[in-house]
Structure 1
Amino acid sequence: MRKPLFPCQFLQCLLLLVVCCLGSRPASAQQQTRLNTGWEYVRGDLGGIWEAVRPAVAGSPETVPLWTPVTLPHCFNALDAVDPDVNYYQGPGWYRTQLAVQNPYAGGRTLLHFEGAGQKTEVYIHTTKVGSHVGGYDEWTVDITEAVADFQKTEAYQKQFKGKIPLSIRCDNSRDLEMIPSDLSDFNIYGGLYRYLNLTYEPALYAERLMAHAVTDAAGKTGALSLKIAFPAIVPAGTAAPVTVRLLDPRGKAVGQYRGSVRAAAGEVAVTDFTVKKPQLWSPEAPRQYAVEVTVGEGKQAWHQTALVGFRHIEFVEKGPFKLNGQRLLLRGTHRHEDHAGVAAAMTEPMIRQEMRLMKQMGVNFIRLGHYQQSRIVLNLCDSLGIVVWEEIPWCRGGLGGPVYQAQAKRMMTHMVQQHYNHPAVIIWGLGNENDWPNDFPEFDKQKIRAFMTDLNDLAHQLDASRYTAIRRCDFAKDIPDVYSPSIWAGWYRGIYTDYKAVTEEEFKQVKRFLHVEWGGDSHAGRHSENPDNALAKIAAGQGADERSGDASLFGGSARVSKDGDWSETYLCNLVDWHLKEQETMPWLSGAAYWPFKDFSTPVRPDNPVPYMNQKGVVERDFTPKEAYYVFQSYWTTVPMAHIYGHSWPVRWGEESELKLVKVYSNCERAELFVNGKSYGLKTRASQDFPAAGLHWRVPFATGANQVRVVAYQGKQRVEDQISFRYQTEKWTAPARLTLTKTADANGLVTVEAQLFDAQGVPCLDAANWLRFSLAGEGRLHDDLGTSSGSSKVQAYNGRAIIRLEATPGQTTVAVQSPGLPTAVLAL
């Protein structure tokens, strides 16, 4: 029986849902509409903008190119990023729609607000280019007021477009060495309108940005809030602007008010300051937020905006831990890439909410957003859920480009800080990632990289003196930022996981402020092992734990688990378990962040068990949890939970009467294990008793069917979990044949399972052969999803693999192939 992901009480679940919904509301301007529907798309370039707007001849085969209806968000690479047989598309693509524009403000402005588009974008109203942008991750706007007014005077406005405004947008993710991030990065450089696009109406007098800075003293007794606003260039300098401000506490009670006037000027204009006695503090346990309500102007033409802020005090102690509001907070973190099965970067707001809730339910209180500015939805949720943030610009790998490259990096730093300045969750601005990684340019000059990183560091502090700066993995520049994270991959790219603490202590001594981001290992979802640590016997202890060039390759080089290990969930759970237990014994540690939360696509890993996937996540690319998710939950959460290892392990193996290991991941005080109805005793949780914090038993299994159940106790509370599996004692030889079986038919999808057997018909439970699924006739494989059950080419997990498909009875045939074996065919 599969238990809930997060066994909690109803009220706690309801509260979490409410917080997520509140936190995701945008601090938007006057009237804003998401432009999600009514779009058409063509992959590739046009001969010119006229091809997007010229009159079409209905039914004519000469009307080219052919446009495809789409909804936004939309990504060029929704499927091809993980197609095992092609390089993902990098090039231009066009979108078009027609807008009904009715600005209600006299003399107001009509804007297009892009929350992010990849990677270079041009915007057209009819045939007039109205704006462009370089950079796939920061927000930007285009003022289309005059272009709309001009087009409304044309004959085409009334006749061809029937009173609508034609909008065309060209996105381009072509490879470009003078643009960040580098194409050497371990993630796809996606193209398209993959974040929300908004039509916004502003009055004639408005502010384009609020900068609200809320802080407290270390004791949290007094809070201070300063407010600045920035006017757009369209507002003449010197314009007198009436301003009204209200500061509301987390319950909506007014605790500060201001009424006055400011004069528009270039840059930010100071408005007012507030002092708050005994502010309600923001923290991961209680993410309380104050509302800053701002009105510019008067009457019906006034501009209104609300920014949410949090009062808190942050400190990275030199040679010590991290403190929030004067108290040590061990940062328990993970990472997020903007990537999901079936949509790539085009994640909708409900998808983002689900992902962030899963993180919070795992016990996360810290997240590094890798490796670029992410959606405002993510930051709002971090604020409301209580997850502190390291956010960075996409200066990632490849070296250092020229003036255009450097200007983009500085521009994106400026935008990131300005656009996410108000978020209490943000504690670190990241300057870059793996900037010691050469090969985009013939020159790799460490001193020039140091000089540019110093410029970025100074810029970040000029924009925001209240937060820290950081980089990860660039040892020759580790003295420049406030906080440094070295490369420590104990037990994966280098060394063994029991080296973790010693290696970390040595790295800690070398910098002022230390924070460990990126650790972990790959696991092929559904693959399990009876002997997961076998690879460690080939690897000597004490040889370091850094990642070196070529370590991600599955071929050649020195012995390492990333190449020689079994990529099982079993091994990853042991690695995670060891790291988490050790972190509890490191009082000087500021924190660590597991890399990453979710499997994500990458162009540099074509040979992984799911091709083109980085499989280090604790959930799959479609949110399916792996076993390691529950290891984290057992250390990081307090709501009672218990999880028996092996929910996705249908067949275990060994000798008759052999004692087999059963692990239970739980945060409860004690647990009792039952195997086939017989109790094997009550054990007490002890975090330093590896594995599974002492909740492990060695028990015999019956040949054939088995049922294992655990009952865990936390005070008077009790939680249970159970699994069923088959125990195989028959030995097998090399795989000799394949079978293909229908195992489920639900919700319009058929599930088929391929299995590998030896010549005697014994299942080969350690087989990792490559399998290739195909379909003939009516139907469609649900492949190119980047998951273990959603790839047409995949390595077997314990001699099996599944895939889902749409089928028409009697007209669909599925096949599976494996090199050197006869093809198996199944007619549905």
Structure 2
Amino acid sequence: MVIRKIFTALFLLGFTVQAVAQQKIRLSNNWEFLKQDLGGIWEAVRPVGKGNPESVPLWQTVTLPHCVNAQDAVDPDVNYYQGPSWYRAQLDISNPYAGGRTLLHFEGAGQKSDVYVYTTKVGSHTGGYDEWTVDITDAVEAFRKTDVYQKQFKGKIPVSIRTDNSRDLELIPSDLSDFNLYGGIYRYLNLVYTPQLSVQQLFAKAEVNAANKNGTVQISADLYNPSGKTNTAVTVQLVDPKGKEVNRFTKNINLTGGRTDLGTIQVTSPALWSTEDPLLYTVRVTVGTGTDQAVHTEKIGFRYFEFVKKGPFMLNGKRLLLRGTHRHEDHAGVAQAMTDQMMREEMVMMKEMGVNFIRLGHYQQSRTILELCDSLGIVVWEEIPWCRGGLGGDVYKEQARRMLTNMINQHYNHASVIIWGLGNENDWPGDFPEFDQQKIRAFMKELNDLSHKLDPTRKTAIRRCDFCKDIVDVYSPSIWAGWYRGIYTEYKDVSRAEFEKVDHFLHVEWGGDSHARRHSENPDKALQGITAAKAADERAGDASLFGGAARVSKDGDWSESYICNLVDWHLKEQETMPWLTGTAQWPFKDFSTPVRPDNPVPYMNQKGVVERDLTKKESYYVFQSYWTNTPMVHIYGHTMPVRWGDADEEKMVKVYSNCDEAELFLNGKSMGIKKRNSQDFPAAGLRWNLKFNAGNNTVRVVARKGKVQVEDNVSFRYQTEKWAAPAKLVLEKLSEQDGIATVQVKLFDAKGIQCLDAANFVRFGLAGDGKLIDNQGTSSGSRYVQMYNGTAIIKVELKGGKSVVSVAADKLPTAFLNL
């Protein structure tokens, strides 16, 4: 809670300063959307009579940000839409600056975009993830001189935007990528007013001398000067994290075009930015005088870091074990169109899990995310979307160069960024007839050189392309011990072997899938059929659920129980690897993907520690128990309402905690105190083997860390009856709140015993007044889903009427429920 309050205050303060200074207005409301192409721009602006049946096609009202694929990305029955779509609105435009410029600033739109003022095309952009700006000043003024300006549009400016995420082999990322290439204006769109001269891009290079701990800030800028001014006054201010002005100077500069050097500020013993104490300075640049002033602010941080050759990672002279995760820009119900609030909630959850490092996969992400990483203290690896498929032609390569340049320029000032990623899985062919490793190497080297030219202060990196590992500064091989290859106990040996092959090793992407709400009494059973091969790399076809070598990803149960064991082992091993720079688990949140239609939640990559709607899985607490200091305790199995076994069988109860000791109570009776030892696997020694009562049981734990005491409890039913083949589906309403009913199906055998290992796919349907809340990409938000322990859940929006819910499964009678 403290993290949330501090962060919210910092973030909102920073955003308000920037928004006011740049005269920026978010264009969120009063947009219309069309999910298809038009015959031409005239169809977006032509006059139409009210109620005219010939007013086709039909537009719908939406709010920005908006993703074309908010629903169909995880629709189990269709391919997600890839094609053109249109947005239109009528804007009130009133620039307060005499002779000023009016801009549309896109924080991200996918994947190609064209912008029109009335029928005039004013700009285009290719690339779904970098920011871009269109100057609409001249087109607005020209339109205001036409008759239709007042007659048809009543003094407003019609703006139409065409976005297009059609498949295109000459674009990055590849459509072979394990994530959706979304369409739409899925990040914020801003109307920006500037004077005749303004700051287009500010570069504040903050450096610290490791010897004397003094700092410098070299400040330069790309200025926007369409009117051709030849000189201007500039004022530069530096404000420390407490709001005190450190330095200020004013100077006159000549405008010669290109990058303009504004000056250097010396700082004695600056407060350092770190993951524990992310202190940020503010650089404020004012261009011009009087009413023609343009003010631009940026947050910066002083820090220095090192990837020690054949050794660990150092931040500000001290070893920092990078405890990381990954992020895709994706969320239940909205896909890529995440709001600031959604992003804040997600990133704060990461920090509260103990994350201090994140790889943003596999593209430049929202400016909001980078601001959050700065404010929360999360070190960043950010990369361009050269992902899979091979290497295209000149258009393809030019886009990669442009997106790398834009990413570095636009996120240059963020203290959190330490690595620019140049590619991901570039050893993965498929988009082109030719797959030439030497040509890929040559282009990788070109990007590596470009990155160092644009920003010599940060490192470059790639993941999983062994034939390019010598080109970049930092390399991550493919290591999926216990999932795609091998067993998880091989993790340390395999990692050490890969570490020895490069100068600077950083392991990103590890973990495995878990179907939320699915649990197991024997989670490691799949390992019995897998040979320890001292190899844990992912290979062609390993992601498939059919055929190939024995592997947990195909042959395991996809339970949360197994993934908790895998995570537990990895984390306890990382504590005894002093040479390790760090790792990043893949990923924090489940996300949608077009290449996994057969998963338990179709079209979802389910490797997250939270679901697509941020519902925590059990593995979240395993990380928290290793990575955080605030006392916490969590009994495994909060979403496991039934456990099973023989009447006198001992069953393990696992407790995840960062406390020194814990006492467990079964049905009110103490089962003893255990001391935590991170190397005592599983659950760091906090485990008890107990005999449950047949029927209902309650488990409570009290954990202590110093004088602080924390508690947790779970209740469950213990089933000793053995079940036979599935025979009957039974629907029941679990709850109703605010017009939303939660419905559950259970699977029983012919004798009415619940089949607790059942993993049948079930399909929900509905007739009547209500609506299924589906296409969410979650275990309880898909109409077609694999059961978890013989159950599945769906929610229904009742809409004040009557409905009938159905559920069907192959070779079983369909069940119905009246609501």
TM-score range, shorter chain: over 0.9
Q: Which secondary structure does the structure 2 equivalent of 1:76 belong to?
A: coil
Aligned residue among 41, 55, 66 for 1:63: 55
Q: Distance in 2 between matches of 1:31 and 1:457?
A: 37
Residue in structure 1 matched with residue 334 of structure 2 by the alignment: 343
Residue pair 1:72, 1:196 contacting (<8 A) in 2 also:
yes
- Verify: 1:739 aligned to 2:761, yes or no: no
**Residue type matched to 1:168 in 2?**
S
- The equivalent residue for 1:663 is 654
1:630-673, CA deviations, whole angstroms, 9 ceiling, x for partnerless residues? Answer: 00000000000000000000000011121110001000011000
Q: Is the 8 A contact 1:810 1:827 kept in 2?
A: no
Aligned to 2:187: 195
Mapped to 2, the partners of 1:359 and 1:703 lie a distance apart of 38
Provide, for residues 2-30 of structure 1, a one-character-per-residue CA deviation record: whole Å limited to 9, x for no partner: xxxxxxxx655532433443465584552
Q: CA deviation at 1:807?
A: 2.0
- The question of 1:653 aligning with 2:644 is answered yes
Superposition map of 1:271-670 within 5 A: 271-670=262-661
* Counterparts in 2 of 1:808 and 1:429: CA distance versus 1, 3 Å: closer
Matches within 5 A, 1:745-756: 745-756=736-747
Pairing partner for 1:209 from 189, 198, 201? 201
- Deviation track 1:760-780 (CA, whole Å, cap 9, x = no partner) reads 110000000010000011110
- Do the aligned residues in 1 keep the contact of 2:323 with 2:354 (CA within 8 Å)? yes
User: TM-score by structure 2 length?
Assistant: 0.99
- 1:609–1:795: 8 Å Cα contact kept in structure 2? yes
1:823 to 803, 814, 819: 814
Residue 669 of structure 2 is aligned to residue 678 of structure 1: yes
Asked whether the equivalents of residues 219 and 325 of structure 1 are also in contact (C-alpha less than 8 Å), the reply is no
Distance (whole Å) between structure 1 residues aligned to residue 50 and residue 372 of structure 2 = 46
Equivalent residue number for residue 76 of structure 2: 84
Distance 1:284 1:789 in 2: 35
With over 3 angstroms needed to count, the CA separation of the structure-2 counterparts of 1:737 and 1:445, relative to structure 1, is same
CA distance in 1, matches of 2:297, 2:801: 59
Aligned counterparts of 2:187 and 2:276: Cα–Cα separation in 1:
30
Structure-2 change in CA distance of 1:266 and 1:810 (3 Å): closer
Give the alignment of 1:44-193 within 5 angstroms.
Answer: 44-193=36-185
Q: Report the residue type matching 1:582 in the other structure.
A: E
Alpha-carbon distance change, 21 to 232 in structure 1, aligned in 2, over 3 angstroms:
closer
1:264 pairs with one of 242, 255, 261: 255
Structure 2 Cα separation of the partners of residues 23 and 585 of structure 1: 40
Deviation at 1:217, TM superposition (A): 2.0
Q: Which deviates further from its counterpart, 805-814 or 116-125?
A: 805-814
In 2, Cα distance between equivalents of 1:18 and 1:535: 48
Which TM-score applies when normalising by structure 1? 0.98
Quick one: distance in 2 between partners of 1:257 and 1:23?
A: 19
Match for residue 5 of structure 1?
none
Distance 2:122 2:766 in 1: 47
What amino acid maps onto 1:720 in structure 2?
E
Work out whether residues 769 and 801 of structure 2, in 8 Å CA contact, stay in contact via their aligned partners in 1. no
Look up the SS of the partner of 1:283 in the other structure: coil
Cα RMSD over matched residues?
Answer: 1.1
**Alpha carbons of structure 1 residues 115 and 77: separation in structure 2 relative to 1, 3 Å:** same
**Separation in 2 of the partners of 1:11 and 1:314?**
28
SS at match of 2:199: coil
**Residues 332, 612 of structure 2: 8 Å contact kept:** yes
Deviates more, 1:637-646 or 1:256-265: 256-265
AA aligned opposite 2:796? L
Instruction: Give, in whole Å, the separation in 2 of the partners of 1:301 and 1:81.
Output: 46
Letter in 1 for 2:268: K
- 8 A contact 1:496–1:541 mirrored in 2: yes
Counterpart in 1 of 2:752?
Answer: 761
Q: 2:282, 2:300 within 8 Å by CA — same for their partners in 1?
A: yes
Superposed displacement of residue 542, structure 1 = 2.6
SS of the aligned residue for 2:733 comes to: strand
Whichever residue aligns with residue 307 of structure 1, its letter is: E
Alignment partner of 2:770: what SS? strand
Q: By how many angstroms is 1:623 displaced?
A: 0.4
The one-letter code of the counterpart of 2:409 is Q
**Aligned equivalent of 2:29:** 37
Task: Give SS of 1:287's match.
Answer: coil
Query: Structure 1 residues 827, 259: closer, same or farther in 2, change over 3 A?
Result: same
Q: 1:719 aligns with which of 698, 710, 724?
A: 710
Distance in 2 (CA, whole Å) between partners of 1:662 and 1:232 is 63
For the residue of structure 2 that corresponds to 1:207, the secondary structure is: strand
Residue 206 of structure 1 and its aligned partner are, at CA, apart by: 1.0
Tell me the distance in 1 between the aligned counterparts of 2:636 and 2:562: 12
Once the 2 structures are TM-superposed, how far is the Cα of residue 33 of structure 1 from its aligned partner? 0.3
CA distance in 2, matches of 1:21, 1:751: 36
Q: Cα 1:658–1:26, aligned 2, differ >3 Å: closer, same or farther?
A: farther
Q: What is the rounded CA distance, in whole Å, between the counterparts of 1:180 and 1:81 in structure 2?
A: 19
Structure 1 unaligned spans of 5+: 1-9
Is it true that 1:224 corresponds to 2:227 in the alignment? Answer: no
SS in 2 for 1:398: coil
Secondary structure of 1:741's match? strand
* Partner SS for 2:769: strand
C-alpha deviation, 1:570, in angstroms: 0.3
Deviation, structure 1 residue 220: 6.5
Provide, for residues 494-530 of structure 1, a one-character-per-residue CA deviation record: whole Å limited to 9, x for no partner: 0000000000000000001000000000000000000
Q: Which amino acid aligns with 1:594?
A: Q
Task: Tell me the percent identity.
Answer: 67
CA offsets, 1:111-152, max 9 Å, x none? 000000000000000000000000000000000000000000
Tell me how far 1:713 sits from its aligned partner.
Answer: 0.2
C-alpha separation between the residues in 1 aligned to 2:728 and 2:2? 52
- CA distance in structure 1 between the partners assigned to 2:466 and 2:695 by the alignment: 54
Q: Does structure 2 retain, via aligned residues, the 8 Å contact 1:22–1:384? A: no
- Cα distance between partner residues in 1 of 2:782 and 2:284: 49
Instruction: Judge conservation of contact 2:764–2:783 (CA < 8 Å) in 1.
Output: yes
Secondary structure at the aligned position of 1:823 is classed as strand
Shift of 1:809: 6.5
Tell me, in whole angstroms, the C-alpha distance in 1 between the residues paired with 2:607 and 2:51.
49
